[in-house]
Structure 1
C-alpha cells in the first residue's frame, strides 16, 4: 500500500473504533497496529510489540505517578479539602462570589496535595457546593466554579500530567513540576477576579458570609497546616535538591498516610479508607499506563512513516512566524479536548508536535505548561468535559447543560491566562532556571 495513505486510514480508524465504544487506548493500539501492517507486515508488527509495552512503561520517572495519586487520595480521606474550604471562606467569603472564590482557593490548595483534576473537583465539590447552595448561589456558577477549579489539579504541582509530559519528552520532571507553580497561581488569580465580576451581577452578589476579623482569619489559617507540610515536603525537597521527584512522591505519600492516621474522624472504617486509596491509585495508574502503551504503538507507526520529521521540516520551511506556528499547534488541542481525555491528547499530539517545537528553538518547559493549560480546557468543555460530569454526579439538582454553561465562563478565563503565559514565557521558566542556578 502507498505509505502516504496509511496515516489517513489509521486516523479514520481511530474515530470509527471510538464511535463504536472502544476504549481510547485500544483504539490507538489497534489503529497503530493496522498502520504498521499497511507499511510493513504482520511479522514486523509482532516483533515490535514484544518490546513496546515494556520500553514504554518501564520508565523510572513514571513511578512518581502512583505516589502522587496515593498522596492525594489519602489527603482526601483525611478531610484536607474541608479544612481548606473553611479557611478560604474566612478570607474571601464576605466578597461577592466569595464562596465560589473560596472553592477556587480550596482547589488550588488541594491541588498541592494531589496530582489529579478529577480528585480535586470531587473533593472540593462535595464540600463547597452544599455551602454555596445554602447561601443562595446560582447552581450554574457554583457547579461551574468547582468544575473549573478542579483543573488546577493538573497544573499546580505535584501534577501527574506534568510528569506525563516530562516522560513523553524526556524533560526534567523536577523542573516541570516547579514550572507549574506560578502559572497555577496566575490561573487561580484570574479565576477569582472573573468570579468577582460575574457575581456582582448575579444572585451571588448578596449571598455573602459574615466578614471574619483579621485575627480570626489568621488564627484559622493554621487549620491548613497539612497542605503546607505536604507542599514543603514534596516541592521544597525537589526545589532544594534534597530529594529526587520520586523520593519526594514517596515522602509525600507517607506524610499523607500519617495525617490520615492522626485524623480521629477517619478512625471508624480506617482500613476501608486505606484500601480505597490503594484501589483508586491502582485503577488510575493502570489507566494511564495502558493509554501510554496504546499511544506508543500509534506513535511508532507515525515515526515509522516519518510524519513528525516531515511536519517539522514543512513547518521550518514555511517561513511562518515561529510564535504563530506554536499558537496553531496549541489550538489543535481545543477540538481534541472535546472528544479525548488529557492523557490521550498528549500521547497523540506530543510525539508529532514536540519535534517541531524543538526545531523552532522554543523552551520545552514553556511549551509543556501551555500544553497542560490547553488540556485543562478539554476537562470543562462539552461533550466530554470530565470534571463537569464529576460535578454533575455530586450536584444532581443542577442540570448538566447548566453546569457546562457555568464552566464556559472559565473557558474564557483560561484563554486569558494562556495568552498571558504565551506572551510572557518567563512566568513558566523563571523558577526552573532559578532552580538550576
Structure 2
C-alpha cells in the first residue's frame, strides 16, 4: 500500500479508537503498528517491537522526570503551597480580583518547585479556592484562575515537558529549562493583567480583602524562602554550569526531601506523605513513558512513510513566508490539544515540525518554548482539559461547564502571551545565550 493511503487510514484509526474510549497511548500505538504493517509487513513490526521500548526509554536524561516530580511532591507535603498563598495574598489581596492574582502568583512560585501542571493546580487549588469562595468570588474566575495558573508548571522550570522536548529533539536540556524562566514570568504577568481587565467593570464578582501593612507584607516574605532556595539550587546550578540538568534534579529532590523532613506539619503522618510522594513520582513517570511509547510507534510509522521529510521539503520549496509557516504549525496544536495530552502531541508532531523549523533557520529552543505554550492551552480547553477536571474534583459545587467558561478567559490570555513570544524571540533566547559553562 502506498504511504499516503496508509497515513490516512492510520490517522483515521486513531480517532476511531479514541471515540471507542481506548486510552490515548494505546490508540496511537495500535494505529502506528497498523500503519507499519500496511507499508512493511507484520514480521518487520514484530522485529522492531523487540527493542523499541528500550530504545525509546533508555535515556539518561529521562531520569530527570521522576526526580522533578519527587521534588514537587516533597514540596507539596512540606506545605510550601499554602505558605506561598499567604505571602501572595498579603501583597495583592487588597486589589479587585486580588485573590485570583494571588492564586496565579502562588502557582508561578510553586511551579518553580514542581515539574507538573496537575500537581501545581491541585496544590494551589486546595488552598486558594476555599478562600475565594469565602470572599464571594465568581466561581468561574476562581476555578479558571487556578486551572490556568497550573499550566505554568509545564513552562516555569523545573518542567518535565521542557525536559521531554529536549530528549526528543536532542537540544540542550539545561538551555531549555533556563529558556522557560522569562516566558513563565511573562505569562504570569499577562494572567494578572487579564484578571484585572476581567474584574475592572465590576460585573464579575471579585471583592478585595483588607489591605495589609508594609510590615506584615515584608515579614511574610520569610515564608517564601524554600521556593527561592529550590529555584536557586536547580536553575542557579544549571545556569552557572556547575551541574547538569540531571544532577540539578537530584540535588533539588534531596533538598526538598530535607524540607519535608524538617516541616513540623508533616511529622504526624510523615510515612504516608513519603509513600504518596514516591507513588506520585512512579505513576506520573509511567504515564509519561507509556505516552512516549505509544506516540513513538506512530512517529516511527510516519518516519518510515517519509511523511516528515516530504512535508519539510515541500515547505522549504514553497514561497510561503517562513514566519507564517511556523505560526500555522503552532496553531495546529490548538485542535490537537482538545483530544491529546501534551506528551503525545509532542511525540507525534515534532518528527514533522522540528526538521521543518530547523531547515527554515529558526532557533529550536525558541520553537520549543512556543510549542510548550501551545500544549499549555490544551490543558484548559474542552473536552480533555486535564487541569479543569482537577479543579472540578476540588470544587465539586461548581459545574464543569462553568469552570470551562472561566478557563476560556485565560485561553485568550495564553494566546496573547504566545503572540508576544512569537514576535520577540529574544525573550526566550537571551538567558540561554548568557549561560555559563555552555
CA deviations over 1:260-317 (Å, ceiling 9, x no partner): 1111111111101100110111000001011111111111111111100000001011
Q: What runs of 5+ residues in structure 2 fail to find an aligned partner?
A: none
Q: Is the 8 A contact 2:137 2:206 kept in 1?
A: no
Please name the residue that 1:256 is paired with: 256
Instruction: Determine the C-alpha separation between the residues in 1 that align with 2:181 and 2:234.
Output: 13
Instruction: Determine the C-alpha separation between the residues in 2 that align with 1:53 and 1:76.
Output: 32
Instruction: Determine the C-alpha separation between the residues in 2 that align with 1:349 and 1:65.
Output: 21
**Alignment partner of 1:425 is 2:437:** no
Please name the residue that 2:34 is paired with: 34
What SS does the aligned partner of 1:269 have? helix
Instruction: Determine the C-alpha separation between the residues in 2 that align with 1:342 and 1:27.
Output: 15
Please give the TM-score of this superposition, normalised by the length of structure 2.
Answer: 0.98
Please name the residue that 2:315 is paired with: 315
What SS does the aligned partner of 1:276 have? helix
Mark the CA change 1:95 to 1:205 in structure 2 (over 3 Å): closer, same or farther. farther
Q: Is the 8 A contact 1:136 1:203 kept in 2?
A: no
Instruction: Determine the C-alpha separation between the residues in 1 that align with 2:256 and 2:118.
Output: 19
CA deviations over 1:105-157 (Å, ceiling 9, x no partner): 00000000000000000000000000011111011110110110000000000
Q: Is the 8 A contact 2:136 2:205 kept in 1?
A: no
Instruction: Determine the C-alpha separation between the residues in 2 that align with 1:149 and 1:268.
Output: 30
Q: CA deviation at 1:391?
A: 0.3
The 5 Å alignment of 1:117-128 reads 117-128=117-128
Q: CA deviation at 1:2?
A: 2.3
What SS does the aligned partner of 2:434 have? helix
Instruction: Determine the C-alpha separation between the residues in 2 that align with 1:314 and 1:38.
Output: 24
Q: Is the 8 A contact 1:121 1:387 kept in 2?
A: yes
Please name the residue that 1:380 is paired with: 380
Please name the residue that 1:338 is paired with: 338
Q: Aligned residue pairs: how many?
A: 437
Q: CA deviation at 1:214?
A: 1.6
What SS does the aligned partner of 1:4 have? helix
What SS does the aligned partner of 2:300 have? helix
Instruction: Determine the C-alpha separation between the residues in 2 that align with 1:431 and 1:351.
Output: 26
Q: CA deviation at 1:201?
A: 2.1
What SS does the aligned partner of 2:435 have? helix
Please name the residue that 1:59 is paired with: 59
Q: CA deviation at 1:205?
A: 6.0
RMSD (CA atoms): 1.0
Q: CA deviation at 1:172?
A: 0.3
What SS does the aligned partner of 1:132 have? helix
Q: CA deviation at 1:320?
A: 0.3
Mark the CA change 1:182 to 1:430 in structure 2 (over 3 Å): closer, same or farther. same
Q: CA deviation at 1:204?
A: 6.1
Q: Is the 8 A contact 2:138 2:205 kept in 1?
A: no
Instruction: Determine the C-alpha separation between the residues in 2 that align with 1:25 and 1:381.
Output: 20
CA deviations over 1:225-269 (Å, ceiling 9, x no partner): 110111011111111111111111011111111111111111111
Instruction: Determine the C-alpha separation between the residues in 1 that align with 2:315 and 2:2.
Output: 23
Instruction: Determine the C-alpha separation between the residues in 2 that align with 1:33 and 1:390.
Output: 32
Q: Is the 8 A contact 2:94 2:210 kept in 1?
A: yes
Q: Is the 8 A contact 2:174 2:239 kept in 1?
A: yes
**Alignment partner of 1:399 is 2:381:** no
Instruction: Determine the C-alpha separation between the residues in 2 that align with 1:376 and 1:434.
Output: 26
